[in-house]
Amino acid sequence: MEVSVIRNSQARICREELAYRVNKCCIGSEFISIKARNRISLYGETTRRNEIKKLCCSQRSIRCEAVVSDKAPFFKSTPRTRSLKGVRLFVGLPLNTVSDCNIVNHTKAIAAGLRALKLLGVEGVELPIFWGVAEKESPGNYRWSGYLAIAEMVKKMGLKLHVSLCFHGSKQPNIPLPDWVTRIGETKPGIYFTDRSGSQYKECLSFGVDDVPVLDGKTPMEVYRCFLESFKSEFSDYLGNTITGITIGLGPDGELRYPSYQTRKLSDGAGEFQCYDKHMLAALKHYAEANGNPLWGLSGPHDAPSYDQQPNSSAFFSDGGSWESEYGDFFLSWYSSLLVSHADRVLSLASSAFSGTGLPLCGKLPLLHQWHKLRSRPSELTAGFYCNGDHDRYEAFAETFAKSSCKMIMPGMDLSDEHQSLDSLSSPESLLAHIKTCCKKYGVVVSGQNSTVPILGGFERIIENLKDENTVIDLFTYQRMGALFFSPDHFHAFTEFVLNLSQFKLPEDDLRAEKEEDNGGGKTLTTSMQAA
């Protein structure tokens, strides 16, 4: 069937055949990164324009089975006064691209998605590689075949690949820690983070066991080193050509933090301290005795709220509360220092393992903007980010990243203060600006990501962050490919975003056609397309 091309504001969104394939197959979620500065070597401007014309048709004419959000982040073209061609753009593959049985999911849909991204001019994709998949059954028994198959698909498509090595589990999709680690956890529950009520977080090992031989006689650091060395060996043919960067998992959901919230989304509460497994308590006891206050090492704060309780529901985070007492400084300094030490161990390990490859390494910080306008900043404190007087842990983390020549991934670059609830006292913009300043001070390059859920006005906010002349941002990864990503409204907005990044301008006849369609000119074509 011949499919007419329908012109629609700056981009043509997908030829019917390709749109049907990527939408009906419904792959996972969203992620991105583009290298516009090299785009001329891939496509001349005329060739690229023609390819996009071949690829695209109106999003309103595609009858797709993907979920379409009523919060689709429509993109408004921004003035193109400053080139963004130095920013490379990647899109994340679904979290369950490779299942826990080491099988590639949705192969045809992924191939169609890769083709669409290639024609748009996206540089590459990001692939999450889970410890629980690659070393599932027994220690040292690695299975890389599913991930190798994806690397080969990406290579043949002419795209680049950024891999994220995930030492955590994930509930969505259901990919737990390795089976052999879970079996150890059944007999040694102290390997998991534990809260005040005794509940365990089983998707990540406690930082208290980093150097404790709890994994069949090996420490987690020793096990991670073997994992990295095996990955390096198995993917050697792709390193430096197809694979152009590696993110090292640092904690829950890959982020450097304590699991102070039990879901990925910040709640209305303050979160909860995670210091009650036996190894963390032993470290606290030792720290208290070394500082001459043994009674302070018996437990965590007694007057802190629980996960969903607001900060003012108890005394700890209130003005003049325990958090700014001598005890509070003692506890929060210790709690945060363990997070810094964990980052230093893992990043130093990765830097050593990949020495000589020339591949850039990345680590991810969270953007804990909830309650940021409160003096105590409870969401940050429970996650391990203590800033008080001389203690600015964001600077400490930037210094640690610089020590290992590691880039810092910052999520939430689509967030603005304007769209936050007033009651949450949230300020993603000021927190992100502070972290950027810390990175600049220590010469740390920042890589950007968006939130996991499309945000109203998000694309415009991303552009503003990428234009920030005070911060070096060379890579942006959009989260993440899937059914919503390829839904007509969202994919249209994403295409506009890509064109703004690449400074790609449509010829005058296309601009006139846009005006005609806005005035109703495209209505007849859309109707005939749906009838076909």
- Looking at residue 41, its pLDDT comes to 29
Task: Answer yes or no: is pLDDT of 39 > 70.
Answer: no
Going by pLDDT thresholds of 50, 70 and 90, the confidence category of residue 263 is low
- In this structure, the strands spanning 391-392 and 124-130 are unpaired
Average pLDDT, the chain: 82
Q: Cα(145)–Cα(147) distance, rounded to whole angstroms?
A: 6
d(CA 439, CA 10): 36
Q: Closest Cα partner for 254 from 166, 137, 159, 349?
A: 166
- Under the banding of pLDDT at 50, 70 and 90, the label for residue 306 is confident
Q: Per-residue confidence at 532, pLDDT binned at 50, 70, 90? A: very low
Span of 179-183, 281-285, 369-373 with lowest mean pLDDT = 369-373
CB 311 within 8 A of CB 305: yes
Whether the per-residue pLDDT at 508 is higher than 90: the answer is: no
pLDDT of residue 442: 95
Average pLDDT over residues 131-135: 98
- Whether 299 has a pLDDT exceeding 90, the answer reads yes
Residue 14 has pLDDT above 70, yes or no: no
Q: Which two tokens stand for residue 114?
A: 């890769």
User: pLDDT tens for residues 47-75?
Assistant: 554 554 444 433 332 223 333 333 445 45
Mean of the pLDDT values across residues 116-135?
Answer: 96
Phi, psi of 333 (to 5 degrees): -65, -45
Q: Residue 343 in contact with residue 409, Cβ under 8 Å?
A: no
**pLDDT of res. 193:** 97
Q: Give pLDDT tens digits for 64-111.
A: 333 333 344 545 544 443 446 678 999 999 999 999 899 999 999 999
Contact partners, residue 211, CB within 8 Å, separation at least 6: 219, 221, 345
The sign of the torsion formed by the CA atoms of 169, 93, 63, 514 equals positive
List of residues 6+ apart from 79 with CB closer than 8 A: none
Q: What is the pLDDT of residues 268-291, one digit of tens each?
A: 788 999 999 999 999 999 999 999
Looking at per-residue pLDDT, the higher value among 461 and 18 belongs to 461
pLDDT above 50 for 16: no
Rounded to an integer, the average pLDDT of 173-197 is 95
Contact 121, 502 (CB under 8 A): yes
Q: Locate the DSSP E strands across 101-195.
A: 124-130, 160-166, 192-194
The residue among 55 and 401 whose pLDDT is bigger is 401
Q: What is the mean pLDDT of residues 396-424?
A: 93
pLDDT reported for residue 266: 56
Query: What integer pLDDT is reported at residue 64 of this predicted model?
Result: 32
Percentage of the residues of the chain whose pLDDT score is greater than 70: 77
Gyration radius of the chain's alpha carbons: 24
Summarize the confidence of residues 150-154 as an average pLDDT.
Answer: 98
- Which range has highest mean pLDDT (193-197, 388-392, 509-513)? 193-197
Give the model confidence (pLDDT) of 202-244 as tens digits.
Answer: 999 999 999 999 999 999 999 999 999 999 999 999 999 999 9
In angstroms, rounded to a whole number, what is the distance separating the alpha carbons of residues 69 and 355? Answer: 44
15 pLDDT higher than 80: no
Identify the band that residue 35 occupies on the pLDDT scale cut at 50, 70 and 90: very low
Joined together, the tokens standing for residue 401 give: 């990243």
Q: Among the listed ranges 9-13, 164-168, 187-191, 369-373, which one has the minimum average pLDDT value?
A: 9-13
